[in-house]
């Protein structure tokens, strides 16, 4: 996995390349400058940062109404980063686990080691009822090959409701993986070892038919059957601009 002292991402409001550690401050100024001038109806909005709990190089910022529900946030996270086989998921907020049972696909895992927190059905729970600015919370998707996320409410404001209910504000550039054989840009991950391969060397591998998944810009890369978002509008595979790498 590529190592960087600073993680960079793209602000989707102004298209600037911005470091992760200053993105919150950047968005505080950029957001009001890019609101539709004709917008009259405003409501309370939360800005939320989500990142891989054990892979923080994958991160994004989103904005959604404070009155939205946990299932709406769950659906968005699945759509942009996670959904592969309709697994279970849960938010842990303030010592309470808010769970969603996705037709019991992997419910056998939920209490295998005993419940770790008091559990509540997430259906109907509004963000503003359980979250506030500055609060950190956690999310899990798939209780078998689990993807763990850390989320934080980094800000709130009065603004127009995002189209579709959620607005992607910024996202990390795709990590620059290199083929373990030739050093060329990688396109595939060998799921048995977690190694990256270019297309040519992946197809030459003895396990090509059963053990390779596409490299995608998501903390779920290489897990289960995940191949990226089903909606093209949510795909973001841009890498860090060359001038920034050199600078």
pLDDT at site 116: 57
136: tokens are 């950190």
Transcribe 74-132 into DSSP letters: HHHHIIIII-SS---EEEEETTEEEEE-STTTTGGGTTTT--SSEEEE-TT-BHHHH--
Q: What token pair was written down for 127?
A: 């963000």
How many Cα atoms occupy the beta-carbon half-sphere of 99 within 13 Å?
22
Q: How far apart are CA 219 and CA 55, in angstroms?
A: 6
The pLDDT assigned to 72 comes to 98
Q: Would you call 181 helix, strand, or coil by DSSP?
A: coil
- Report the C-alpha gap between 75 and 98 in whole angstroms: 14
Query: pLDDT-derived band of residue 26, with 50, 70 and 90 as boundaries?
Result: very high
Which CATH fold would you assign to the domain 8-172?
A: 3.10.290
Q: Is the pTM for the entire model greater than 0.85? A: yes
Structure token pair of residue 205: 């591998």
Torsion of CA 62, 66, 72, 78, to 10 degrees: 30
The tokens describing 19, both together, are 């470091």
pLDDT, averaged across the chain:
91
Q: What is the pLDDT of residue 245?
A: 61
Q: How far apart are CA 172 and CA 161, in angstroms?
A: 24
**What SS3 class is residue 63?**
strand
Spatial separation of the C-alpha atoms in residues 99 and 96, rounded to whole Å: 9
Residues comprising the chain, all counted: 247
Q: What is the pLDDT of residue 207?
A: 98
Identify whether the C-beta of residue 165 lies closer than 8 Å to the C-beta of residue 64: yes
Q: What is the 3-state secondary structure (H, E, C) of 116-147?
A: CCEEEECCCCEHHHHCCCCCEEEEEECCCCCE
- Give me the pLDDT at residue 115, please: 52
Q: What is the pLDDT of residues 74-128, one digit of tens each?
A: 999 999 999 999 999 999 999 999 997 644 444 444 455 455 568 899 999 999 9
Q: Taking CA 166 as the corner, what is the angle to CA 156 and CA 93, rounded to the nearest 5 degrees? A: 60
172/60 Cα distance (integer angstroms): 6
- pLDDT tens figures, 152-190: 999 999 999 999 999 999 999 999 999 999 999 999 999
The β-bridge relationship of strands 167-172 and 43-52 is unpaired
Return the pLDDT at 4.
54
Q: In the chain, how long is the greatest CA-to-CA distance? A: 60
Domain extents in the chain: 8-172, 188-242
- Distance, in Å, from the CA atom of 179 to the CA atom of 144, rounded to the nearest integer, reads 28
């Amino acid at each position: 996995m590529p190592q960087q002292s600073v993680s960079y991402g793209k602000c989707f409001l102004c298209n600037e390349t911005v470091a992760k550690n200053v993105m919150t401050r950047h968005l505080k100024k950029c957001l009001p400058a890019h609101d539709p001038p004709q917008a009259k109806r405003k409501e309370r909005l939360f800005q939320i940062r989500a990142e891989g709990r054990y892979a923080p190089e994958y991160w994004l910022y989103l904005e959604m109404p404070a009155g939205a529900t946990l299932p709406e946030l769950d659906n968005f996270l699945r759509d942009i980063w996670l959904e592969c086989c309709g697994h279970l998921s849960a938010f842990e907020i303030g010592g309470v686990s808010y769970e969603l049972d996705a037709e019991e696909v992997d419910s056998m895992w939920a209490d295998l080691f005993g419940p770790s927190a008091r559990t509540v059905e997430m259906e109907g729970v509004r963000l503003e009822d359980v979250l506030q600015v500055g609060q950190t919370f956690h999310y899990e998707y798939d209780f078998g090959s689990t993807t763990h996320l850390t989320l934080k409410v980094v800000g709130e404001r009065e603004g127009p409701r995002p189209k579709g209910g959620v607005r992607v504000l910024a996202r990390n550039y795709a990590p620059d993986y290199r083929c373990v054989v030739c050093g060329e840009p990688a396109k595939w991950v060998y799921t048995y070892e977690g190694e990256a391969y270019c297309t040519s060397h992946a197809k030459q591998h003895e396990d090509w038919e059963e053990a390779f998944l596409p490299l995608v810009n998501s903390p779920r890369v290489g897990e289960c059957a995940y191949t990226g978002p089903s909606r093209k509008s949510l795909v973001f595979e841009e890498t860090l601009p060359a001038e920034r790498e050199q600078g």
